Structure 1
Amino acid sequence: MKEQTKIFLVSPSPSTFTERDLEALRREYLVREAVISNYRGGNGLKRSLLITFEILRGVLWADLTYSWFAHNHSYLAVTLANLLGKRTIVVIGGYEVAREPEIGYGALLNQKLAKRVNYIIQNADHILAVSEFNRREILELGDHRHVAVVYNGIDCAQFSPGEEKDDLVITVCQISQSNIALKGLDTFLETARHFPDLRFAVIGRDLDGSIEDLRRDAPPNVEIISPTSQGELLQWYRRAKVYCQLSYRESFGVALAEAMACECVPVVTDRGALPEVVGDTGFVVPYGDAEATAAGILGALQSDRGKAARARVEKEFSLEGRMQKIRNIIEERPV
């Protein structure tokens, strides 16, 4: 009987991305996990030594190291794995290869971190890009032949439509000062003023108190909601007719794909991977253009593309499809 492959999964903090991969990998492999944000307390040196020890222990135990995001934790994991002759897979989420000085976004704006990102891309055995857009950005940093597009996976059994849609327009993101421009929340509020009799909602966890600023700026027809559970978020997806992702840039857009799986008609900007995710199932508008966004929302309200949006997610972005590609990479088969 073939011995199970041992995988050490390293991530900076808990997220739906890592949890979905962890759960799926554990069905077929022996998996240990290290979440860097769990290592708290003590001074900076003590914490750094503890993290280094845990990553070293994981790399020694595993046949393969699987890192989410090309950051300091994956730099350490790739460095140690290379020294020990162990295989490495790194998922690039997008921030790591971004350089957007206009909004102060991207790891490449930090010289030290940019060098580490470059090292990871050049030295990991496999780099997983979450979109074709993401892959092109990675390849601009160097000639790495082992970059494969493996789209984020959506659980279409969980994210499924409800019985009836309301005339409701939503957007979902973590709420912070930096995300107001990055996620286009200012444009979302401005666009809502074009439809005083239509319900809009911004749904997301407040990170820095900006939710109160957003509520003060919002017109009366916009609700600002901080959901208490995944189930509550799912109900918003199921009720909304239209989902907006008005971002300055996105390397994929998990919330967008979740909403599409619930048969929301998408309205997205022409930035990053958003047109790639939506395909021909939604409406694409220029970033920061409230007039064009209003026209897109009006078209979405009158359209019947919700079922096509879900069908696209089922075909292109299923959890099963993602895990089959990852399985092929782990087993060293063609992707």
Structure 2
Amino acid sequence: MAAPKKVLFIAPFYNAFIRSDLEVLQTSFPVKQSVKNWQNRSLIPWRWLEQFFLLLRSAPQIQFIFIEFGGFWSMIPAYLGALLRIPVYIVLHGTDTASLPHYKYGSLRKKWIRSICGISYRNASCLLPVSESLIYTDNQYNAFDQLQGLKHFYPNLKTAIQVIPNGLSFEKWEADQDYKREARRFTAVFNDTQFLLKGGDLIEELALEFPDCEFVVIGTNGPQDSNLRKGKVKYLGRLSQAELKAEFHRSSFHFQLSRFEGFGLSLCEAMLCGCVPIVSSVNMLPEIVGESGFVVKQAELVALKEQVQKALTASDLEERRQEAKARIKNQYSAAGRRQKLLSLLEVKA
């Protein structure tokens, strides 16, 4: 009896949501993993050769190819998959559909990477963005780089597209002790390279306007440019999941002031912990928060101050907290993503 065909799983690294998709696949299919480090550009030609021979050698045993992110690692598998009639699915997370040179973000900023992604996307069987906004969006919040998404950069793209939102495991964010929520405490999450992209400059300015509030940023030690640092924002650096949960449960509000956002997992995590969200009007952030939070229409201090003042004086914060939790649980569950992925893959593979 012939061995069952395998799924070839390709990614440039492991993180929480990539591991989650891998676990979903492993529950229903035998999986062969190809997760390599693509950061060393001098090794890319050799990586392509490795992929070429891997696919030629393994093609008869491959049921379909599942790729996380569009990039250098997706071109050869997508092209050969189309040539060998092996279905190819590419999950798009955000940076692979964006070009924001003013904020130093987006894989598509460089023409040759945009071409590589274009070859990948045109040869794939189906593209799986985590948000409808990754297909096309007009982010008027920004002064620059407003038009983004697949259909903006590849207007003649014919590949099938199915949106499958990210999903969260709710139990990880439930309170496991009595946390004291502080009424005027705000959190945000971003890393060292995302300071401008995630609105860190606005948070620094805002902190000067609200000296009786506490502003905490997780994931970075602060802006690399010392001129941007005003001294009022507390930077905690990288935290464990348990430490991050504690920070969220202690805070009343959470900022997601992105200039572009593929989905917004940290926003969803904060909402599950009872933070009232304050978000920029980009991509699907307003859709995630609904009526539970506050939406900033322009990347300007005046617009942000207005929404923060509304949040601080709102009389329905407890109702908003419950609504925030309910929205994530009802719309963005890990079980929901699992069901949608397997429904697509088991039918079409």
Would you call these one fold, judging by a TM-score over 0.5?
Answer: yes
Superposed, 1:138-149 pairs within 5 Å as 138-140=150-152, 141=154, 142-144=156-158, 146-149=160-163
Q: Is the 8 A contact 2:216 2:234 kept in 1?
A: yes
Superposed, 1:152-171 pairs within 5 Å as 152-161=166-175, 163=178, 164-167=180-183, 168-171=185-188
Q: Which residue in the other structure is 2:142 paired with?
A: none
Q: Is the 8 A contact 1:246 1:268 kept in 2?
A: yes
Output the TM-score relative to the length of structure 2: 0.84
Report the more deviating stretch, 318-327 or 6-15. 6-15
Structure 1: gaps (5+ residues)? none
Could you report, residue by residue, the CA deviation over 1:188-208 in whole angstroms, capped at 9, with x for unpaired residues?
1111112112111010046xx
Task: Please give the alpha-carbon distance, in whole angstroms, between the structure 2 residues aligned to 1:264 and 1:215.
Answer: 30
Q: Alpha-carbon deviation of 1:89? A: 0.6
Task: Please give the alpha-carbon distance, in whole angstroms, between the structure 2 residues aligned to 1:5 and 1:263.
Answer: 44
Task: Please give the alpha-carbon distance, in whole angstroms, between the structure 1 residues aligned to 2:331 and 2:207.
Answer: 31
Task: Please give the alpha-carbon distance, in whole angstroms, between the structure 2 residues aligned to 1:40 and 1:109.
Answer: 18
- Aligned mate of 1:217, from 219, 229, 236: 229
Superposed, 1:31-42 pairs within 5 Å as 31-37=31-37
Report the more deviating stretch, 244-253 or 296-305. 296-305
Q: Alpha-carbon deviation of 1:187? A: 0.4
Q: Which residue in the other structure is 1:150 paired with?
A: 164
Q: Alpha-carbon deviation of 1:80? A: 2.2
Partner SS state of residue 315, structure 1 = helix
Identity %: 29
Q: Does 1:326 align with 2:341?
A: yes
Output the TM-score relative to the length of structure 1: 0.87
- Aligned mate of 1:254, from 242, 265, 268: 265
Q: Is the 8 A contact 1:201 1:223 kept in 2?
A: yes
Partner SS state of residue 210, structure 2 = coil
Report the more deviating stretch, 109-118 or 320-329. 109-118
Q: Which residue in the other structure is 2:20 paired with?
A: 20
Task: Please give the alpha-carbon distance, in whole angstroms, between the structure 2 residues aligned to 1:107 and 1:212.
Answer: 22
Q: Alpha-carbon deviation of 1:125? A: 0.9
Task: Please give the alpha-carbon distance, in whole angstroms, between the structure 1 residues aligned to 2:123 and 2:42.
Answer: 32
Question: Alpha carbons of 1:5 and 1:263: their partners in 2 closer, same or farther (altered >3 Å)?
Answer: farther
Q: Is the 8 A contact 1:161 1:261 kept in 2?
A: no
Q: Alpha-carbon deviation of 1:62? A: 2.6
Partner SS state of residue 64, structure 1 = strand
Q: Alpha-carbon deviation of 1:313? A: 0.6
Measured on the aligned residues, the alpha-carbon RMSD in Å equals 2.8
Superposed, 1:1-335 pairs within 5 Å as 6-37=6-37, 46=46, 48-50=48-50, 52-53=52-53, 61-136=61-136, 137-140=149-152, 141=154, 142-144=156-158, 146-161=160-175, 163=178, 164-167=180-183, 168-176=185-193, 179-205=194-220, 213=225, 217-220=229-232, 222-301=233-312, 302=314, 303-304=317-318, 305-332=320-347
Question: Alpha carbons of 1:145 and 1:211: their partners in 2 closer, same or farther (altered >3 Å)?
Answer: closer
Q: What count of residue pairs does the alignment treat as equivalent?
A: 327
Q: Alpha-carbon deviation of 1:169? A: 0.2
Paired residue type of 1:245 = Q
Could you report, residue by residue, the CA deviation over 1:238-274 in whole angstroms, capped at 9, with x for unpaired residues?
2211000111111211111111121211001112221
Paired residue type of 1:330 = L
Q: Is the 8 A contact 1:78 1:124 kept in 2?
A: yes
Report the more deviating stretch, 30-39 or 147-156. 30-39
Q: Is the 8 A contact 1:59 1:77 kept in 2?
A: no
Structure 2: gaps (5+ residues)? 137-148
